[in-house]
Amino acid sequence: MKRPLPLKPGSVLGVCAPSARFDTQKLNQGIDILKKMGFEVNIPEEIFEKKRYLAGDDYLRASIINQFFSDPKIDAVICARGGFGAMRILDYLNWTLIKQNPKPFIGFSDSTAILLSLIDKTGNPVIHGPTVVSLAEAQKETIDSFYNTLMGVFDKIDVPNKRIVKPGICKGILKGGNIATISHLLGTRFEPDFKKAVLFLEDIGEPAYKIDRMLTQMKMAGLFEGIQGVITGSFENCSNDEYIQDILFEIFDEYNVPVLSGLSSGHGKVNLSLSMGMKIEMDTNSARILWN
């Protein structure tokens, strides 16, 4: 996979809302941050639609994404927020159109469903990074990482708070995201392909036993066959998180791949942006991820 073309000052980011309804005040705060970075922002009126807990009906939410990918004036697409709803629109996305018009797609959490489907169905890299709403309260480290990744500066990330579950060095395509979202794609035509991947995992609000259950289900379904390594991000507000390292060892031990924890990416206070769908090298000893 090729690196995505870097953005530049004045590039236009289209804001989509593939998941839940959002706080308008926080959206506006996030938009202000994007503008301070030097980007222009396209905000369609349709993202403010409401249907139950969703930001409008499924077809509408998908059509905004399709329109952004078909519009040559839009340089990248960023999600308003996560929550729930992204997997509901996968059948309405025009994968041929998206593949023919590659551009960065940015989001995390519930947007994992779209990120992984984009990689598998189009071969286009994506960015696991902040949503517009989460940028509203983001720390400087998160904002700097987001900006540098969009501008094409993402050669490496260090993991200073590393916890080595299994030591080693590996190479592979960086893929993954929110554990709960991935588990709900099992058995569907959008089930992700993690063969030859360095698998990234994170979650929020899930007790350790539920993380164990979801990972066990994925393992029993054969989802981890052929993985090259595992790196985990934050497990925010996950009760009994002291058990997670043992769970990771038990789940991934038989694959004989390196497993590293402690990356500041996901729902934690710092959410470093990750360019996924691209080849990386991970070294647990130096606790570093290198993009090739």
- With respect to residue 5, please indicate whether it lies within any of the assigned structural domains: no
Using CA atoms, how far apart are residues 178 and 185, in angstroms rounded to an integer? Answer: 11
- With respect to residue 6, please indicate whether it lies within any of the assigned structural domains: no
pLDDT in tens, 201-231: 999 999 999 999 999 999 999 999 999 999 9
Q: What are phi and psi of 142, to 5 degrees?
A: -65, -45
Confidence of residue 2 (pLDDT cuts 50, 70, 90): low
State which residues form the domain around 282: 156-291
Q: Is the pTM of this model over 0.85?
A: yes
Predicted pLDDT at 154: 80
- With respect to residue 4, please indicate whether it lies within any of the assigned structural domains: no
CA dihedral 126, 131, 134, 136 (to 10 degrees): 120
Mean pLDDT of 130-139: 97
193 and 103 housed in the same domain? no
Domains identified in the chain, total number:
2
**pLDDT reading at 5 higher than 80:** no
CA angle 141, 147, 151 (to 5 degrees): 140
Mean pLDDT across the chain: 96
166 and 284 housed in the same domain? yes
Q: What are phi and psi of 114, to 5 degrees?
A: -80, -40
pLDDT in tens, 230-289: 999 999 999 999 999 999 999 999 999 999 999 999 999 999 999 999 999 999 999 999
